[in-house]
A and B are shown apart, each in its own frame.
Chain A
């Protein structure tokens, strides 16, 4: 099994719908992150969490919310999806402040 698992891999949803993307990890890392990737814009941080009780906004948190249900689980919700939220979404984990990230395989989300 992958160290960081994201579900679903692909999703098409309609404008205005609420959608949840899920991430689970077996690395035992405390730090978890949600990024979106768009062509020409690179990886942009949406939310991050350093433990179950610690949630922080990233640079583009508007329109998104997160839940850290356990050390191993971090989910991202789009409350009311809009077309410009169409993107590739990645979850990542890290062991600590100076360590590299382990990424999931991503969720390709299309909002029509």
Chain B
């Protein structure tokens, strides 16, 4: 069974601080995705990383895929209250006979206080 472990589980910071959240697995994934979920809404896809070592930037958010394609990180610079939400990483099943469904981590719940 492929699993994705996210850390930390909870993070509470002040506006303007930087932070990094992590997504780790013992399995290799062909790609990893990051989603953000705001209270009362469904998760929304932020980014997909495909190549080992890949770095993608989305405004103040920087996503990195590990060289071995087993882990990923999300770094937020100068966090703002609007960044508050649940951040989920996800990867497609890629073992023999799998249907390619997404496996989700349990998420990092971020709270950014003004």
Q: Which residues of A contact B (CB under 8 A)?
A: 4, 33, 40-43, 45, 48, 50, 56, 90, 92, 94, 97-98, 100-106
Interface size on B, residues (CB 8 A): 21
A-contact 0/1 string along B97-109, CB 8 Å cutoff: 0011110111100
**Interface residues, chain B, CB within 8 Å of chain A?**
30-31, 33, 40-45, 48, 88, 90, 92, 99-102, 104-107
What is the interface of chain A mostly: helix, strand, loop, or mixed?
strand
On chain B, the residues within 8 Å of A56 by CB distance are 99
**Which residue of B31, B40, B41, B88 is within 8 Å of A98 (Cβ)?**
B31
A105 contact from B30, B42, B105, Cβ within 8 A: B42
Q: How far is the CB of A66 from chain B (nearest CB, A)?
A: 15
CA distance A74 to B106 in the complex (A): 25
